[in-house]
Structures are given as structure tokens and as C-alpha cells.
Amino acid sequence: MHSVDSNCLNSEREQIAKIQAGDPLARHYFDQVVARYLSPLHRRCMAWLGCSYDADDVLQETLVRSYRYIHAYRGEAAFRSWLYAIADNQCRSYLKKRATHHQRFISEEQSEEQGSEEVCPVAAEQQGIANTVRNLAKTAQEILVLRFEHDLSLEEISQVLGLGLSATKMRLYRAIDAAERHVVKEEERMLATA
């Protein structure tokens, strides 16, 4: 069994070296190398995004980027780890774009409804939360979105952010504390102007 794994790794290293050298069969070698990682990569993207269609798109972009930048792979870490890092970065970028798009949509929807006498309390609360999060530091925004919008566990967040579990807990605690302080400040400001 050990020799099979060793042969597989040697074969992978050889194929990557050929790809990096610009071998005419580079695309074929790349397809062979990544084939064994497609299912785990897709599951990882699903864990981030929660939607198979989104995971498919991000996985495709991950493969395109990993092929385009394979010359940057130095072999210091496992190729799988390198692919996972690219997938994680693509998922983060996708989530940021989706959150920005979602926020624009909410803003447009609210500006259309401003003339309306009726205000939906749930929408108002969601807007208040979105405003609070938007006013926090980017690191706080990221961890709050991962925890509360995407419902990731602390362990999953620590993997996504590349932090230890205790550092993740501390960052989440600080983000929640910052959000609470922002809400209190806003309430005080509103009371002072009333």
C-alpha cells in the first residue's frame, strides 16, 4: 500500500513538473492530477457557499486559476493544500461579491419603498444589522458573515481563515463586542436627537 501511495505522489510530482515546464500534454497532465481532488474540492466549496450551482462555478474558477498559476506552485506543501487554498480564496471572493450584490439589492428595494407608509419590521431589523456589520472592520465583517450568515462552526471558520481555534473564538468575540458597541452608540445618538 505504501508503494502505491508513493508512486501516486511521485507521478503527481512528475506531472506537475511537466506542466510547469510547458510540456505539450500539460493540459492532459493537469486534468489527471486534479481529477482525484474534484469531489473533495466541490464539497469544500459547498461547505462555504451552501449551493451546488455556486460551488460548481467557484470550483471551475479554482481550476482555471490553479492551471493558470501552476508555475507559482513550489512543492513546499502538498498540491492538494495548494488547491484548497485557491478554492478557499475563490469562495471568500465569491461571498464578498454576493454580499455586495445583496446589499445593493436591499438598498434599491428600500429606496423604492421609502414612499410607502408601511414599514416591514423584519426588513428594518435586517437593514439595521447590515448597516452595523458594514461599519465594522473587514476582519470583523468576515467572521460575523461566516458565523451568522453562512452558519459555519468555529472549527470551520478557523480552517477558512487559517487561524487556530482560540484565535478564531477571540476574533468572533471581539467582532460581536464591536457590533454591540456600535448598536449602543447608534441608540444613544438617536435618543439624543429625539
Average pLDDT over residues 140-150: 80
Task: Give me the pLDDT at residue 117, please.
Answer: 46
Give whole-number Cα distances, 16 to 44, 81, 82, 156, in Å: 23, 14, 12, 29
Q: What are the structural domain ranges in the chain? A: 1-118, 121-194
Cell of residue 183, nine digits: 448598536
**Which has the higher per-residue pLDDT, 83 or 97?**
83
Q: How confident is residue 110, by pLDDT bands cut at 50, 70 and 90?
A: low
172, 177, 179, 185: CA torsion to nearest 10: -170
In the predicted structure, residue 35 carries a pLDDT above the cut 60? yes
In the predicted structure, residue 63 carries a pLDDT above the cut 80? yes
Q: How confident is residue 187, by pLDDT bands cut at 50, 70 and 90?
A: confident
In the predicted structure, residue 4 carries a pLDDT above the cut 50? no
Query: Integer distance in angstroms from the first to the last C-alpha of the chain?
Result: 75
- How many residues are recorded in the chain? 194
Distance CA 179, CA 148 (A): 13
In the predicted structure, residue 88 carries a pLDDT above the cut 50? yes
Task: Give me the pLDDT at residue 138, please.
Answer: 82
Q: How confident is residue 193, by pLDDT bands cut at 50, 70 and 90?
A: confident
**DSSP conformation class of 151:** -
Cell of residue 49, nine digits: 457557499
**DSSP conformation class of 72:** G
Task: Give me the pLDDT at residue 153, please.
Answer: 81
Please provide the average confidence, as pLDDT, over all residues in the chain.
80
The CATH architecture that domain 1-118 belongs to is Orthogonal Bundle (1.10)
What is the CATH code of the structural domain delimited by 121-194?
Answer: 1.10.10.10
Average pLDDT over residues 25-40: 93
